[in-house]
Amino acid sequence: MQITKLTGFMGAEVRGVQLRAPHGPDLKADLRSALRTHHMIVLRDQNLDLSDQKRVTEIFGPLMQLPYVQPRADDPHVIAVLKEAREINVGVFGGDWHSDFSFLANPPAGSVLSAVDVPAVDGDTLWASQTAAYDSLPADLKGIVTDRMAVHVGAPYGVKHAPPPDARSGASIQMTRGDPKADVEQFHPAVITDPVSGARALFVNPIYTTRFDGMSAAESAPILRALYQHATRPDISCRLKWQVGDLVIWDNRMTLHYATNDYDGTRRLLYRTTWQGQPPQ
């Protein structure tokens, strides 16, 4: 296995591995270690079928079924992240900086995307390292977030904070909206620790974090704005130009990610699987 870093703070390309072949314990340990170090890894030319992709996902943890987003009809663990060429001027799934489903009591630990049909030059995905974000936080912000709980709600799926209809994604991804249960506040530490490496990461979410425990939304808003600006800086990010056959694996707790929406008129299809871990600590 050869590992080449993509940027200074996060992301790596892993070469010399074909994941269709059976995975021995050494390969699994090496992949886990690469992900723990780089937080996002890409393996080119994998062209996995869905059962291969699920086996790879299970190297990292048990498969997780996500609420609110309709999975493939034949497999509750697989989401088709699809925008058809005819879907013009609509939002895309994941088209804002976020980590996945942080409004759950136990948000996904990580996700896997495989590229089936991708535009030639656009439709990139970006990730930002939240360990680098935490490490480089100015002292005043670090003081505010350390040992503080942040409050998350499932805004796009609930009632109270529902986005306007014109901000919603296209028809190719079906979501359940208007569920009052998604408005229930969930409390997570604003700074979390990787249980194995001990690395600390900022854990606030531009889509789902509404306020800090002990503060109102209005008091929290300027702090959250400053944190989001800091947490999505280009210097702590990496950007992937997709190729058909790519497999990308990322840590959903140590990163934020962002799907660009610059490919109207072109079809883009990736399959996504997700694994479970322990609640963020």
C-alpha to C-alpha distance for 258 and 95, rounded to whole angstroms? 6
Q: Measured from the CB of residue 123, what is the shortest distance to ligand SIN in angstroms? A: 7
C-alpha to C-alpha distance for 202 and 136, rounded to whole angstroms? 10
* Contact between 173 and 93 (Cβ < 8 Å): yes
Task: Say if strands 255-259 and 125-129 run parallel, antiparallel, or are unpaired.
Answer: antiparallel
Which residues lie closer than 8 Å to 216 by C-beta, 6 or more apart? none
User: Among residues 77 and 272, whose Cβ is nearest to ligand SIN?
Assistant: 272
Out of 94, 107, 108, 277, point to the residue binding ligand SIN (CB under 6 A).
94
Tokens (6 digits) for 143: 């003081």
**Placement of tokens 């790519």 in the chain:** 246
Q: Is 1 helix (H, G, I), strand (E, B) or coil?
A: coil
User: Among residues 81 and 247, whose Cβ is nearest to ligand SIN?
Assistant: 81
User: Among residues 145 and 231, whose Cβ is nearest to ligand SIN?
Assistant: 231
**Torsions phi, psi of 32, nearest 5?**
-60, -40
User: Among residues 7 and 255, whose Cβ is nearest to ligand SIN?
Assistant: 255
Out of 60, 270, 273, 280, point to the residue binding ligand SIN (CB under 6 A).
270
Binding flag, residue 272, ligand SIN (CB under 6 A) = yes
C-alpha to C-alpha distance for 131 and 231, rounded to whole angstroms? 9
User: Among residues 127 and 212, whose Cβ is nearest to ligand SIN?
Assistant: 127
Q: CA Rg, the chain, in Å? A: 18
Out of 35, 60, 80, 93, point to the residue binding ligand SIN (CB under 6 A).
93
Q: Annotate 140-153 with b (16+ C-beta within 10 A) or e (fewer).
A: ebeebbeeeebbbb
Binding flag, residue 259, ligand SIN (CB under 6 A) = yes
Where in 124-183 is the site for ligand SIN (CB under 6 A)?
Answer: 125
User: Among residues 220 and 273, whose Cβ is nearest to ligand SIN?
Assistant: 273
Q: Measured from the CB of residue 223, what is the shortest distance to ligand SIN in angstroms? A: 25
Q: Measured from the CB of residue 148, what is the shortest distance to ligand SIN in angstroms? A: 26
Number of residues that bind ligand SIN (CB under 6 A): 8
Q: Which residue is nearest to ligand SIN (CB)?
A: 94
Where in 100-129 is the site for ligand SIN (CB under 6 A)?
Answer: 125
* Contact between 173 and 82 (Cβ < 8 Å): yes
* Contact between 80 and 108 (Cβ < 8 Å): no
Q: Measured from the CB of residue 115, what is the shortest distance to ligand SIN in angstroms? A: 9
Q: Measured from the CB of residue 214, what is the shortest distance to ligand SIN in angstroms? A: 30
Q: Residues in the site for ligand SIN, rule: CB under 6 A?
A: 81, 93-94, 125, 257, 259, 270, 272
